[in-house]
Structure 1
Amino acid sequence: MSGTLSIHINRDGLHHIDVAQSFETDDSFDIVLENHGAPIHVHLHIDDELSEVASLSATNHYIEEGETEVVPISVRNGPGRGKLKIVTSYGAETSYVDVDIEEHDPKANEILVDEALSKPKPRSPRQSNEASELTRNLPLIVLIVLAVVLVLGVGVLVDWVVALFGAVSVLIGIGVATYFLTQ
């Protein structure tokens, strides 16, 4: 359930703070400070109750215009609750977020693996048919390649008009063979 707490600064005016009133998590999370206006100082503070289970990496942040800063919050153990205080421009505006840290459930992120995954998957009939078709048609493919090489060799030795006629004949043969192979 851990996530991100987004805080928008200067979006609706100078020093304005736009943040959800409450936030719930069961693990460490990030605070994303997004500045929509002029450069600003932002101070973050967690109250005594919340500081028993969580800690901030840094409290004071200077954010340039249009910049975003990510502040990680480490949760040591839970459950716990308290308030996160957000202050802009040395007290010009203040907002609070109720933070509720629930008991971390290690099984919530657990992925169950069935024993059937350890056994190889049987080949589908289609895969088997495709492999046997390729094996069955291999002599025809070799014959086509040899015919093209033969036409090119004849073209080098004799007149190119004769070779062109042979090439067209071979291409028509390849087209007919392909039609029958795909049926």
Structure 2
Amino acid sequence: MPGTEVTVHVNRGTATPLEATSDALETSDSFALLLEGHETPAHVHCRLAGDLEGVASIGETNYYVEPDSVTAVPVTVTTDGLDRPVDGDLEVVTGYGSESISIAVTAVPGPPNVDVDESLAEPARSEPDPTTLERLIGPVATAGGFDPGTLVVLALGLVAIGIATVTTATIGGPIATAGLGVVAGGVLVALVLLLR
């Protein structure tokens, strides 16, 4: 749960100098405690309690919170190797210990790590399956000794010549006949290049 935050209002002018926006948090990742200052500055002490101390840590424990400012307290949680949830409290204390609140924190096992090797960055190359092409063309491919790809081009060339012939017979004229010649020549060039 990257980006998880818990906010504690400090000296907001209410009966209690500390107010948390949430009294419980469940996470499998590090999170931020935001100390939001209001009317008067305050010294705030943060600490972890319970089993949470075994999987979490706070870099600094004492903070000076100024009015109308937000102080971020990073809480590092390491759930690697956890097989069960770990419970504890994040305690925020001010007024030299006279005022405090506790936020229940449960560290849950994170998603399993996935090993990624360098081959994942290489694009996958898919080679055509020769058996698929042979099934499509049938025994003609092996009987004539031609490559299946050559036979496919030959078949498409014959279809193109057939369409050009029908078009020439229907329309007639020198332009249609020239078109038939261009199509036949193109098929012939393609076959010569394939059989090289």
TM-score (normalizing by structure 1): 0.55
Dislocated runs of 4+, deviation >4 Å: none
Tell me how many residue pairs correspond in the alignment. 114
Alpha carbons 1:34, 1:67 under 8 Å: kept = yes
Could you say which residue in structure 2 is the equivalent of 1:82? 88
Alpha carbons 1:15, 1:40 under 8 Å: kept = no
Aligned pairs for 1:84-163 within 5 A = 84-106=90-112
RMSD, matched Cα: 2.7
- 5+ residue gaps, structure 1: 108-117, 119-183
Decide which structure has the larger Cα Rg and report it: 2
**Alpha-carbon distance in structure 1 between the residues aligned to 2:112 and 2:94:** 37
Give the % identical residues.
34
Deviations 1:101-139 (A, max 9, x none): 1111158xxxxxxxxxx9xxxxxxxxxxxxxxxxxxxxx
Could you say which residue in structure 2 is the equivalent of 1:32? 34
Q: Compute the displacement of 1:14 (Å).
A: 7.0
Alpha carbons 2:10, 2:37 under 8 Å: kept = yes
Greater fraction of residues in helix: 1
Deviations 1:49-108 (A, max 9, x none): 11100000111101111111101111122441101111112113111110011111158x
- 5+ residue gaps, structure 2: 114-123, 125-196
Alpha carbons 1:47, 1:84 under 8 Å: kept = yes
1:8 counterpart letter in structure 2: H
Could you say which residue in structure 2 is the equivalent of 1:61? 63
Could you say which residue in structure 1 is the equivalent of 2:18? 17
